[in-house]
Structure 1
Amino acid sequence: MLVLCSNGLTCKALRDQVRQEPHKLHKEKPRAALIVTSDPIYKEKNYHVARCLQELESLGFSVDLFDFDYQRAEMLLAYDCAELIGGNPYTLLQSLRKSQAQPILKELAKHHILIGWSAGALVLGPTIDLIEQYFPEMNTLNLTDLTGMNLTSRQILPHYHQFLNRDPQYEILCQAYEQDHHCEIIRLSDGEGIIIDSENDSFIRIQ
């Protein structure tokens, strides 16, 4: 199961969808890894971490914190679920490449549960170029190759209504990107997400 969402498992409908999966594993206590790599400064002290831990634990998981900058990607195969929190998509993408995480993430999405939200969701798609249109100042690494992990062809725009309320140009930029790149962007507001079928790349929207 591959879950891409705006700000985590913050709505009941999303949690209910994920809740069904551990029972299929027939494990008394399935394990989850909360990946904090996308916050290069605060890591496990990121203020969203406590909430994400609570959400995963409420679904029956025992949870460990995980960081690609210090742990081998292969270690994730010991978990039934992995969640990538939000933060900086550029630094996260570089860390995933350095740790050669792509095949591990594909395995998790295909056979277990892989959740990404905000930056954590953006890097799992084909590219993070969309965010370059909005927040190029985040690219402090000066990355020129913005290719994502390619676990899906779907591209999302997280926090959609939150940013649209601040800047009416937000939608105009998104439409221009869609036209220039001949694609459809899935706009997700906080509390929303999509669940993607890794076999055929179809998805259902949860809100």
Structure 2
Amino acid sequence: MGFQHINFVDIEFDDPQILLHKDVIYINGGNPFTLLYYAKKSGADEIIRTLAAQNVIIVGVSAGTLLLGPNINIVDFFTPQMNTMNLKDFKALGVTDKLVFPHYDREDIFKDSTNKTIEEKIVKFESNENCKVTRLNDEEYISILINQAY
């Protein structure tokens, strides 16, 4: 894609200031609770919000997608056992107001004792939370334009 210089930043250990003055920020997957915890603890949350407001391209993958949304409530609904950080506040960065459910096509990773499908669980979540969830399969993506003048 023609990238000339790439920095790998781990917001748990690295200073997130390194994100400033970058043209593209790529936020990878992992545990959404852990990612949210360290984004807030390190100050990366504010830096990412600032960069988004400056129209820097920000790519979120899996947990990275969830981090950019309004909250990670759906993660707590589906996989509360992942909350090893014991987070109580699930408010995410709010770069977008879209609630996204990645891995929609991966029934194998969301099995539980209820034997409900991902779709059945999302419908219940939408009803409980009075919201709309955007469902994304592993090979799908969405583009969201923020702060664009028309």
When normalised by structure 1's length, the TM-score is 0.64
Q: Who is 1:193 aligned against?
A: 141
Q: Report % sequence identity.
A: 35
Query: Is 1:67 aligned with 2:10?
Result: yes
Task: State the structure with bigger RCO (CA 8 A, min sep 6), 1 or 2.
Answer: 1
| Amino acid paired to 1:151 | V
Q: Aligned equivalents of 2:146 and 2:133: distance in 1? A: 18
In the other structure, the counterpart of 2:74 is: 130
1:106 equivalenced with 2:49 (yes/no): yes
In 1, the alpha carbon distance for the partners of 2:91 and 2:12 equals: 19
CA distance in 1, matches of 2:26, 2:89: 24
Deviations for 1:77-119, whole angstroms, at most 9, x for unmatched residues? 1311111111000011010001122231123323221111111
Seen in structure 2, the aligned counterparts of structure 1 residues 192 and 181 have a Cα distance that, compared at 3 Å, is same
| TM-align CA RMSD | 1.8
SS of the residue aligned with 1:91? helix
Would the aligned equivalents of 2:29 and 2:61 in 1 still touch at CA under 8 Å? Answer: yes
1:130 Cα deviation after fit: 0.3
Q: Does 1:151 align with 2:84?
A: no
In the alignment, structure 2 segments of 5+ residues that lack a partner are none
Question: Which structure has more strand as a fraction of its residues?
Answer: 1
- Tell me the alpha carbon deviations over residues 143-194 of structure 1, each in whole angstroms, 9 at most, x when there is no partner: 1111101111100000101227975521111001111111110000011111
Give the aligned residue type for 1:85.
Answer: N
**How is 1:1-207 mapped onto 2 (pairs within 5 angstroms)?**
59-61=1-3, 62-110=5-53, 111-163=55-107, 168-199=116-147
Q: Which amino acid aligns with 1:93?
A: L
Count of residues in correspondence between the two structures: 142
Given that residues 78 and 110 in structure 2 are in contact (C-alpha distance below 8 angstroms), is that contact kept between their aligned partners in structure 1? no
Contact 1:81/1:108 (8 A) holds in 2: no
Q: Is the 8 A contact 1:158 1:189 kept in 2?
A: yes
Query: Structure 1, unaligned stretches of length 5 or more?
Result: 1-58, 201-207
